[in-house]
């Protein structure tokens, strides 16, 4: 067997094995579980889907198709590719981050909004609908390693919607939230330092 065939067969075997390991229920139920439980995180069904999304997620984009200008900075949340893009006002800074996205289409909101508040060390409170689905959840979690909002949060003009960090890195790149967009803590800290109150945000 040639080296080329060996590499191809080895790669196929790896993908097939990965697909088998990942062939688990796609969405776990959130009822009756801890707010940071692994069961609130999606497990991918098809490794080929993961590969396709990873390729598209880290494709750089230009701001012009999405915004009229970058006044105050601009944040684009691409829910389908699970990526967050940021452009500074003078367009000298461009950042691209992997993100978590809402668990279901019913929890997903798309459209234009803006940053209305920036909080370092946010306090997490479940929404009324979250408490209805999960009555055993606490009504408040203060800043710290158990906080689902991570280290920083950008509050949006839509009620209950945030771009925030997470202490659970398994959630990034997956459907795992009740509506918010999650980033690695180091990424939200960086974005937090660049974004301003008034920064425009578009979720597509």
Task: State the Cα–Cα distance between residues 41 and 63, nearest whole angstrom.
Answer: 31
Instruction: For residue 130, give every residue at least 6 positions away whose Cβ sits within 8 Å of its Cβ, in sequence order, or none.
Output: 137, 178
Q: Which of 85, 152, 180, 187 is catalytic?
A: 180
Q: Are 156 and 201 in contact (CB under 8 A)?
A: yes
Strands 152-156, 200-203: parallel, antiparallel or unpaired by DSSP? unpaired
Q: Is 53 helix (H, G, I), strand (E, B) or coil?
A: helix
Task: State the Cα–Cα distance between residues 57 and 34, nearest whole angstrom.
Answer: 29
| Residue 164 appears among annotated catalytic residues | yes
Question: ∠ at Cα 197 (194, 141), nearest 5°?
Answer: 90
Q: Which of 62, 85, 152, 164 is catalytic?
A: 164
| Residue 180 appears among annotated catalytic residues | yes
Task: State the Cα–Cα distance between residues 184 and 58, nearest whole angstrom.
Answer: 15
Active site residues: 164, 180
């Amino acid at each position: 067997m040639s080296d080329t065939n060996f590499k191809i067969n080895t790669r196929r075997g790896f993908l097939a094995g990965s697909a088998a390991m990942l062939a688990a229920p796609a969405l776990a139920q959130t009822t009756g579980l801890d707010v940071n439980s692994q069961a609130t995180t999606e497990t991918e069904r098809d490794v080929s889907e993961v590969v396709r999304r990873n390729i598209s997620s880290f494709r750089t984009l230009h701001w012009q198709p999405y915004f009229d200008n970058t006044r105050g900075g601009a944040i684009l949340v691409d829910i389908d590719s699970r990526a967050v893009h940021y452009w500074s006002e003078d367009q000298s800074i461009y950042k691209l981050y992997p993100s978590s996205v809402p668990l279901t289409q019913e929890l997903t909101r798309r459209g234009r909004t803006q940053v209305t508040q920036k909080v370092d060390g946010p306090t997490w409170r479940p929404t009324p609908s979250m408490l209805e689905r999960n009555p055993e959840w606490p009504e408040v979690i203060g800043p710290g390693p158990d906080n689902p909002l991570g280290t920083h949060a950008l509050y949006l003009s839509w009620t209950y919607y945030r771009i925030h960090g997470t202490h659970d890195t398994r959630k990034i790149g997956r459907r795992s939230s009740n509506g918010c967009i999650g980033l690695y803590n180091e990424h939200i800290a960086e974005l937090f330092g660049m974004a301003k109150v008034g920064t425009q945000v578009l979720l597509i």
